[in-house]
Structure 1
Amino acid sequence: MGSAPQSKHSFEYVPGFFAQGGPESDGQMDDYMKHNFGLLERKYETDGSGDEGLTQWQRYAKYVRELNGASEAGTTYKVFYVGRHGEGYHNVAESKYGTKAWDDHWSKLDGDGELYWVDAHLTSTGREQALANHDFLKRQFSEQKMPLPENYYSSPLYRCLQTAQLTYANISLPSEKPFSPLIMEMAREVMGEHTCDRRSSRSVIHDAFPDFPIEMGFSEEDELWQADHRETHAEHDLRTRKLLDDVFEADGEAFVSLTSHSGSIASLLRVSGHREFRVPTGGMMPVFVKATKRTN
């Protein structure tokens, strides 16, 4: 398994803004769709006399943008709208056989004659979950004035690409900020052993999602997945830091979308120091991250 180089930044979760990061969440939220995506009701240092009519999200967005504008060189803040893919056929198979039998045997096969889970696709339930997020975000953007993502990123695994497409397609977006998710290798799920996490070829991905740009250096075949080694947390966290390095280096925007996996989201939370948080299939959560460029 290849390793990523030393991270160019240190990353910190910024607490005090979202319920998902606080003890009141107990590591999960019953329904983020009913709680303004978890944004806490609070005052900000940037609140002014003309802000009384603004929504909580508008005031928070003003705070984040002014925070970035006032930060020292090398320090940047981003709010990630993190989405986990909807239910895939591998999730159905794990429920069918139980986690132990899945991990020990079935996950290492291509399917069972009824279900097929190599680079697993969404089930009908998974598609419905993504469409529910579409409706939720559409309301958030129009009613709560939640900032639209200014850039989009996705794992290359099929279920994430499907989820991203169903979540954001047909939402009215500015012409200069279209839905065009960059496919990034480092955003993928824990790699190795489980065939559901072996990605399709670059050609298959491009043919299925021709409007999604693919990052430079993306190999034709999956060169990272190994049948005899399951990625450790330490290995995964190294490439999550590489992913964050790339996003913070190349993207000057404050609000971005990332469609990924349970293991990848867990790694993002570990790397940034966020509390553990369980995101179900089709679930979403916001993560407010501060990046500081290393000087050595």
Structure 2
Amino acid sequence: MTLSKTLEYVPGFFAQGEPANPQDVGGYAPHMGLLPGKTWEHVDAYIEGQQKTRGVRVKLILLLRHGEGLHNADKEKYGVQTWEAGQELQEKYIDAPVTAKGIEQSQAAGRMLQEEISRGLKIDRVVISPLDRTLHTYAEAFANSRDIPNTVVELARETLGVVPCDRRKPLAGKRIDFPFADFSEVQDEEDTWWQSDHRETEGEIEDRAQKLLDYLMHSRSESRICVVAHSGISRACFRVVGHRYYRPWNGEFVPLLVQEATA
């Protein structure tokens, strides 16, 4: 894997990105992982300071993994061996919805969001994967923050291909079920990204993660963006910018402070 030549993770602000911390530092870490002594005002000051004094573009990208989906629950229920032997290929998992537990996790994420907003967190825009489980998660987590504009973006999807849970249902039904979501950037009614005979490789999802990050950093004007997405695409983003390995929990926020790489 080759790191991005243009973007890099800024350490020193969030526990999830610190090499000295164990994998389980997250799991709904207090204050979304802000390190002791750090505040959201410090994050904003770094963003503004780098841009003003050095001309370096910096953004806060706040990744939120969706609440538990039906496929997550059933993989745990049946076990990995049975799941991968064919259970995961059943059509009932197409665009897998969140479970009752997933809704609770999304609501818990919403409570944490409100707590951190009260502590100074600012979010300028929400970008959402077009799968049902991310849209449901957004609906619950941002129920009290609908004033923040949102955009649904295909680049934020989970690993593409073969597995039905990652296949998108048509847009028509989603527009009805999620009338508060802005689908204007989703071009196709049917899913043209998912292939039944090819699963995205690690290199391919890293290429897509690079495109997603480039979109967030260069096509969007906002400096603080929440992305409601998935474990696979989140981990690909981590790898691309040099963040340590970290697997986000369902309903967990993982903040990334990302800047243009300097020589």
| TM-score, with length taken from structure 2 | 0.91
Give CA-to-partner distance per residue, 1:188-221, whole Å, 9 cap, x none: 0001111000001122222221221124352111
1:39 aligns with 2:34: yes
Decide which of 6, 16, 20 is 1:24's aligned counterpart: 20
Decide which of 106, 127, 130 is 2:106's aligned counterpart: 130
* Contact kept in structure 2, 1:65 and 1:254, CA below 8 Å: no
- Unaligned runs of 5+ residues in structure 1 are 1-7, 44-55, 111-115
Decide which of 116, 124, 137 is 1:140's aligned counterpart: 116
User: Which amino acid is 1:57 matched to?
Assistant: W
- For 1:30 and 1:265, the matched residues in 2 are separated by 14
Figure out how many residues of one structure are paired with residues of the other and give that number.
260
| TM-score, with length taken from structure 1 | 0.82
Decide which of 117, 141, 147 is 2:93's aligned counterpart: 117
- For 2:73 and 2:27, the matched residues in 1 are separated by 22
Match of residue 251 from structure 1: 220
Give CA-to-partner distance per residue, 1:119-141, whole Å, 9 cap, x none: 01111100000100111111111
- For 1:244 and 1:131, the matched residues in 2 are separated by 27
Decide which of 149, 156, 161 is 1:192's aligned counterpart: 161
Partner of 2:20: helix, strand, or coil? helix
- Unaligned runs of 5+ residues in structure 2 are none
* Contact kept in structure 2, 1:120 and 1:197, CA below 8 Å: yes
What's the offset of the Cα at 1:291? 2.8
Decide which of 143, 146, 163 is 1:169's aligned counterpart: 143
Partner of 1:65: helix, strand, or coil? helix
Q: What is the aligned-residue identity percentage?
A: 34
Which piece of structure 1 moves more, 99-108 or 279-288?
A: 99-108
Which piece of structure 1 moves more, 23-32 or 187-196?
A: 23-32
Give CA-to-partner distance per residue, 1:224-271, whole Å, 9 cap, x none: 111111110101111111111222222222211000001011111011
- For 2:105 and 2:28, the matched residues in 1 are separated by 13
State the superposition RMSD in angstroms: 2.1
Match of residue 49 from structure 1: none
User: Which amino acid is 1:184 matched to?
Assistant: V
Match of residue 47 from structure 2: 64
